[in-house]
Amino acid sequence: MTHFRISEAAHLLGVSDDTVRRWVGDGILPAVPDASGRQVVAGTDLAAQAQRLAGEAADDDPVRRSARNRFTGLVTAVQIDGLMAQVELQSGPHRVVSLMSAEAARELALEVGSKATAVIKATMVVVETERENTP
């Protein structure tokens, strides 16, 4: 089973190390010591917490939609050239780039530093994992 250190768990959930430590202390997120005595969280428990957090965020949204992939963040670049615009959004560690009409970018008043949400509905998604070191 995969285990994550507190700092890794925090990074994956998009919260601070202190928040994860508080969840562990409050019994919200189980943790066990690893061979070195550091607290680690099982990947399955971390996945369940991620789903709870996503569910809480979805409950606050008055709009229902079929797309499940939503990234809220800050606009970091807007390039308008003729009829098209390229908009970059930084959502935590995730960079999302969108191509849209220049008209849409202007109507949305997208500018560097503004808050926006990228909603993605894709029929093809590539999933990657790290290679395990084998002796």
pLDDT, tens digit (0-9, with 9 covering 90-100), for 8-21: 998 888 888 999 99
78 lies in the same domain as 54: no
The amino acid sitting at 102 is A
**Span 65-92, pLDDT tens digits:** 666 778 888 899 999 999 999 999 988 7
The amino acid sitting at 132 is E
Can you give the residue range of the structural domain that contains 36?
3-59
- Could you give the 3-state DSSP secondary structure of residue 16? coil
The answer to whether 13 and 53 have CB atoms below 8 angstroms apart is: yes
In a domain, 130, yes or no: no
54 lies in the same domain as 32: yes
Domain count for the chain, please give it: 2
- Residues with Cβ within 8 Å of residue 76, at least 6 apart in sequence: 88, 89, 90, 95, 112
The answer to whether 114 and 74 have CB atoms below 8 angstroms apart is: yes
Q: pLDDT tier at 131 (50, 70, 90 boundaries)?
A: confident
The answer to whether 110 and 96 have CB atoms below 8 angstroms apart is: no
Q: pLDDT tier at 93 (50, 70, 90 boundaries)?
A: confident
